[in-house]
Structure formats: C-alpha cells, structure tokens
Amino acid sequence: MRNTPLLRYLRALSPYEPQEKFFRSDKRRIAYGGARGGGKSFAMRTKLILLALNFPGIQILLLRRSYPQLRENHINPLRRILFGSAVYRESTKEFTFPNSSRIKLGYMDTEADALQYQGQAYEVIGMEEATQFTERQYQALTECCRLSGMMKEKFVPRMYFTCNPGGVGHGWIKRLFIDREYREGEDPADYEFIPSTVFDNKYLMENNPEYLKNLQSLPELRKKAMLYGDWDAFEGQYFPEFDRSIHVVQPYGIPEDWVKFACLDYGLDMTACLWLAYPRDHSRIAVYRELYEPDLILSEAAQRIARAGNGEKLRYITASPDLAGRRQDSGKSGFDIMRSQGLNGLVAANNERIPGWRRLREYLAARNGDRAYLEIFSCCKNLIRTLPRLSFDPVCTEDVCGTPHEYTHAPDALRYALTSLPFLPAAPAPEKKEDPLGFYEAFFGKKREQSYMRFISE
C-alpha cells in the first residue's frame, strides 16, 4: 500500500481503551458511547474501514437520521481518509474498495424511509446516534442485516450503534443495552454496551478543555445525560428527581414494628403490586417487594399476590378504584372476586392523577440526611426500570404520558400507595428531652408541656 491518506490514518491510530474494546468486539449487536465527547463518530468510521479492509466483499451500510448529518459527520471525512484507496460514487453515496468491499451511506428521516432498504442485504449495519431512530426503524433494518453472498469467508452479520441518552429511540436502546431486558428471539449473549465519555477522550481533554466546561455548565438534567451518560436522565423525563444511586438500596430487614401495606394496579395486560413499609416516626418509606406479571385474570392475580405476601399482616391494600365497582352481569366487584381468593384488606385508591404525581415527586425529592426518604429495594426491578422512563403527556403537560403503556403500571401502583398516606415526608421526630427538674408533670400537668419544652431547650 503506497503512502495514501488511509495508510497515514491507520499509522496514526491511537485508540483509547473504550474504542479499542469496540474495535475488537465481534458481538452481533454493539452499542458504543452514552455521553458527549466520547469519540463515537470516529470509532464508527474506523470500525467500518477496518472491516472493509479485512473482509473482502463485505457489504456495509452506515446511517444517520438526516442527510446533512450524514454528509458532515461521515461522507466528507471518509472522502478525505479514503482518497486514493476507495472509489466514491456521489450518485449512490458509496465507497467501493479494490477487494470488492463496499461502504454505502444513507439516511432514514421517517419510518417510511426504511422501505428503500427492503430486499437489500448487508453484513454490517451501523446506526449513528441510534437514539434518533424509532424502534420500528431499527426493526426494519434487522431484516436487511444478513449475508449478501459477496463474501467468500464465513462471517456473522452484525449491527453497531452509537448513542447518547434521550431522543425518540431512548427506550429501545436502554432496554437492549442498559437494562438488558430481552424479548423472544433476542439472545442476551449477542448484546454489548461499551460506555465512553469525554473523560476517556484524551485528545479533547488535552487540546479542548473548554468543551468539558461547556458540558459542566449544562442544566442539571441534561448534564447528567451528556456529561456522565446517565440513562435515567433525559429531556422530557417526568421524574428527574429519581436518582438510582440514592433511591435504590440493597434489601434490608424490615423491623417488626414498621407499618406494612401494599398497592395494586390491575389490568389484564399487567398486574403490578408493590409492598411498602414505614417506621412509626414516618422518617422513611421503603418499597421492599414487587409482583409484576401479565395475563392474569382477577382470581389468578389475587392468588399470586396472596402467595407473594407470604402471610404478612398488612394494614391495607390500596388498589385501582375501578375494581370496587360492581359489574352488571354478576353483581360482583373486582374486590369481591379477589377477596374470595383470600386477598383481604382491599380499599379503593385515590385516582386523581396530577395531585398523585405531585405527591410522588415530593417523596422522591425528600431527603433524610444523606439518605433518600423513599427507598426502593433493588429486587423491585420493574419499578426501578419504569419510573425513570415516564415522560410528560404532550397534551396535558402536568400529567404522565400514557404511552408506552407498559411503563405506567408500577408507577401507578406507587402513586396509589403514596396518596393513601395521611402524612407527607417528614424528618424523624425529635426525642423528648427529660424533665431536668423531675417534678414538672406533678406540679404543672401536661397542658403546658409544649411551652415547658421550649423553656428547657433555650
């Protein structure tokens, strides 16, 4: 290979640790990044160039959401790097290599744009800023990620994603690569997330330290996402107060004198039940158990909740108020059916949505010293997963968006629980000071106790 821009580019390569890990990984689905300044576009371009050079005949598709983004981030840089090493055709937006490898560049602004790739085959598909794409666009592309028939050697088709938190595709990227929740046909072994932030980018840190200052000066919520790669923080998030590092705790033994109760949001699509407890001084609330199961009829849901409760004595179970209404066909309510299965203590929840969400916000924001006032045991995985995903309703901006509906079940149950409480977050009640004189009650009685306590505390 003569002294081409590509050869000079390859000789100058000095990837930092996350980039090298990305270059070496051969998983079928790899997401890279998670924050601004992590060298995502450079990593994607370089990975695709290395694949094109090492696998003759490989067909590669690289996508951005819009053409201007594609041109500035990839077409222009690749034309400089590959000049003299690959032929660029403007009409088809593709680079062809002497070994028959090809990198095609495209954009997909709308879901209808996915139709232009139907019937095409690519061994590798790269989605730049993947959270700008919808899940439907991603799924359409998976149909194109297959062997093209142009390669002689064995190769497993794969997809690469670069991403930051936020955007229309935040949910599906977070599900696959952060929360690692998989559906039928999705093999967990195929997925890998490689985090990278500006702090990994030695070039930026040494030559452009002002960029770090720019990220540090962002509004708090956006700073969490763009500087630190916090996937629980994104613009439009309904509960920015939620902080996994504070609100999620390792399970601990609930003291016997704590008050225990439960909350239930029932639907045939999902039964979500949470168990909560708090001490007598109201200084903390713990969500310590959850049940989260789809496709249960009322009697089955009652049986599952009763078994999960393991005979614990609960003060009450506050549940979806529609369950209290009697049905015309049977004359029985949902509560009647559930009570017949041994689930007692059911009471109808207060279903005022906006006041309920406001109260939940108060509990999330409250602190008791260095601890969160509302603690969620780490075993309550579905509440932890769905609560930070709630966004604002685009029509009623004080309410939670009802879609995706799957995100609302456990938070709705928690809303029922907190609106059932007769108290707001409170610090521990102060210990009573002893009567230093030893004769107050005998001589003055209890009516003036409050003024007396003020006197001895001064």
d(CA 226, CA 231): 9
Residues 396-431 have pLDDT tens digits of 889 998 877 888 999 999 999 999 999 988 644 444
| Residue 233 belongs to some domain of the structure | no
The answer to whether residues 319 and 435 belong to one domain is no
Res 381: pLDDT: 95
| Residue 235 belongs to some domain of the structure | no
| Residue 241 belongs to some domain of the structure | no
The answer to whether residues 34 and 94 belong to one domain is yes
| Residue 297 belongs to some domain of the structure | yes
The answer to whether residues 202 and 254 belong to one domain is no
The answer to whether residues 191 and 261 belong to one domain is no
| Residue 424 belongs to some domain of the structure | no
Say if residue 330's pLDDT is above 80.
no
The answer to whether residues 200 and 267 belong to one domain is no
The alpha-helical segments, DSSP class H, found in 55-166 are: 67-70, 76-81, 135-142
Residues 244-280 have pLDDT tens digits of 999 999 999 999 999 999 999 999 999 999 999 999 9
Beta-strand ranges (E) seen in 231-353 are 248-249, 259-267, 270-278, 285-293, 317-319, 346-348
Residues 271-323 have pLDDT tens digits of 999 999 999 999 999 999 999 999 999 999 999 999 999 889 999 999 999 99
d(CA 351, CA 416): 7
* The domain boundary residue, chosen from 164, 197, 228: 228
Of the candidates 74, 116, 120, the residue with the CA atom closest to the CA atom of residue 95? 74
The answer to whether residues 179 and 320 belong to one domain is no
Structural domain count, the chain: 3
Q: CA geometry: angle at 264 spanning 258 and 270, to 5°?
A: 140
Band (pLDDT 50/70/90 cuts) for residue 438 is very low
The answer to whether residues 211 and 260 belong to one domain is no
The answer to whether residues 193 and 45 belong to one domain is yes
d(CA 56, CA 54): 6
The answer to whether residues 366 and 443 belong to one domain is no
| Residue 238 belongs to some domain of the structure | no
d(CA 440, CA 432): 14
The answer to whether residues 99 and 165 belong to one domain is yes
DSSP letters for 383-445: HHHHGGG-BB-SSSTTSBP--SGGGTHHHHHHHHHHHT-S----PPPPPPPP-TTS-HHHHH-
- CATH of residue 387's domain is 3.30.420.280
Residues 337-365 have pLDDT tens digits of 999 999 999 999 999 999 999 999 999 99
* The domain boundary residue, chosen from 198, 228, 258: 228
| Residue 197 belongs to some domain of the structure | yes
The answer to whether residues 394 and 272 belong to one domain is yes
Structure tokens at 213: 């200052």
pTM for this predicted structure: 0.66
3-state helix, strand, coil in the chain (%, to 5): 40, 20, 40
Distance of CA 398 to the CA centre of its chain: 21
- CATH of residue 224's domain is 3.40.50.300
The answer to whether residues 305 and 340 belong to one domain is yes
Structure tokens at 332: 């029985």
Band (pLDDT 50/70/90 cuts) for residue 111 is confident
| Residue 334 belongs to domain spanning | 247-419
| Residue 35 belongs to some domain of the structure | yes
d(CA 390, CA 360): 13
